[in-house]
Amino acid sequence: MRGLALRLTLLTASFLAGFVVQAGAQQASPPASSPGASPYVLAKGDALDIRVYNLPELSQTVIVRPDGKLSLLLVGEVDAAGKTAAQLTELLTAEYGKHVRTPQVAVIVRSFSSRYVYVGGEVDKPAQISAMEPVTIAGAIIRAGGFKDTARQDAVVLVREEDGKPSSREVNVAAILAGAQPDVPLVAGDVVHVQKSFLNVFVGGEVGTPGLITLQGRISVLTAVVRAGGAKNTARLDSVLLLRDTGSPAPAVEKIDLASIMAGRKQDVALKPFDVVLIPKTRVAKVNQFIDQYIRQNIPVFINAGFSYLLGQGISTPR
């Protein structure tokens, strides 16, 4: 657990490092608020100028600590988080008034570091986004330019501080965008990291180097065949078979006319994780029998590589 916490801390720190220069420029003035909006409430991490005009030696710049307190000259510890600047000014005037006559106190918020969420990784424009208004994980990604083609949309990492320690979980943003799951509200300080997508597929049959291939981003049947060393001269390109896990007892099978795709007459087919592409040597008269034989010959490979769905109850009819 200690190692996990350390890794999360390092991930968060390295991720936020890219925002430091930009943050300094953006946080010099308070986030814009709409007319009638509630006054800004101080939070941990905010930088404050505490000015005592008639006693300048007491003026100082301080950060609201993780426990929500300030450490100040003469008056010691003061609760700041949860108060507005005006409320804190009133409190400090009373506190300094216990030691000096008629102190003239002002509280100026220099930066609002705790009022942002951070979005990075495989997005078009990594960004820090104000959390002064409600923001969700899908909305934050959209505001960061959206996903890159290489993004893994079903396992976006959300890092959040809980009880003073960073914790992380994966969020299926693809399902959120499809309306299948509710969106996840973000809170100030959250870090959203979009991982790269790595796709494991198997290409077999009449190719130069049959076997398991790990690819990145959105990959098509033609790309996978090229990565597998290309089709042999003996390959039957108009009868390529695509096997896919659909959650049913047997994998779905689709015939792909790769020859027409290569000639530009048909559109290429996008692959999904753990798809299997088989290129036969001749036209296959009995597709199910051909696939069964190939699977039996490669059972150890399929089991160890995560393709166990192929070992179900037979093969469905090709589409």
Statement to judge: residues 161 and 216 lie in one domain: no
Q: Is 306 inside any structural domain? A: yes
User: Which neighbouring-strand residues pair with 241?
Assistant: 255, 278
Last residue of a domain, one of 194, 215, 235: 194
For residue 95, give the nearest of 72, 66, 61 by alpha carbon: 72
pLDDT value at residue 265: 95
Instruction: Give the residue ranges of the chain where pLDDT is below 50.
Output: 1-10, 13-14, 16-34, 285, 303, 313, 315-317
Closest alpha carbon to 202 in 110, 56, 317, 302: 302
Same domain, 204 and 269: yes
What is the pLDDT, as a whole number, of residue 81? 86
* H/E segment holding residue 94: helix 85-96
Q: What values do phi and psi take at 210, rounded to 5?
A: -65, 150
Beta bridge partners of 204: 278
304 and 208 fall within a common domain = yes
Q: Is residue 287 part of a domain?
A: yes
Instruction: Report the Cα 17 to chain-centroid distance in Å.
Output: 17
- Residue 311 burial (CB count, 10 A): 12
Q: How far apart are CA 14 and CA 290, in angstroms?
A: 51
Same domain, 213 and 296: yes
- Choose the final residue of a domain: 87, 111, 135: 111
Quote the longest CA-to-CA distance of the chain. 100
What CATH number is given to the structural domain containing 56?
Answer: 3.30.1950.10
Query: Cα–Cα distance between 248 and 250 in angstroms, integer?
Result: 5
Angle CA 23–143–138, to nearest 5 = 115
Residue 319 lies in a domain: no
| pLDDT at residue number 216 | 74
Domain boundary among 70, 87, 111: 111
d(CA 86, CA 90): 6
Domain-embedded: residue 318 = no
Within a domain: residue 41?
yes
| One domain, residues 50 and 107 | yes
Output the pLDDT for position 28: 39
Q: Which of 315, 293, 284, 303 is nearest to 202 (CA)?
A: 303
| Structural domain boundaries, residue 183 | 114-194
**305 and 240 both lie in a single domain:** yes
The set of residues, in sequence order, having a beta carbon less than 8 Å from that of 297 and lying 6+ positions away, is none
Q: What is the number of residues in the chain?
A: 319
Q: Please report whether residue 17 resides in a domain.
A: no
Closest CA to 240 of 201, 291, 309, 199: 291
Residue 145 domain-assigned (yes or no): yes
C-alpha dist (Å) from residue 253 to 164, 297, 315: 51, 18, 7
- Within 105-245, residue ranges assigned H as helices are 137-143, 173-177, 221-227
**Within this chain, do residues 149 and 221 fall inside the same structural domain, yes or no?**
no
List Cβ<8 Å contacts ≥24 apart for 300-303: 301/202, 301/211, 301/212, 302/202
> Can you give the pLDDT at residue 25?
35
Tally of domains in the chain:
3
* 8 lies in some domain: no
Residue 58: what residue type? L
Interior/surface letters 150-175, b for 16+ CB within 10 angstroms, e for the rest:
ebbbeebbbbbbeeeebeeeebebbe
Whether residues 203 and 292 fall in one domain: yes
CATH number at residue 146: 3.10.560.10
- On whether both 89 and 149 belong to a single domain, the answer is no
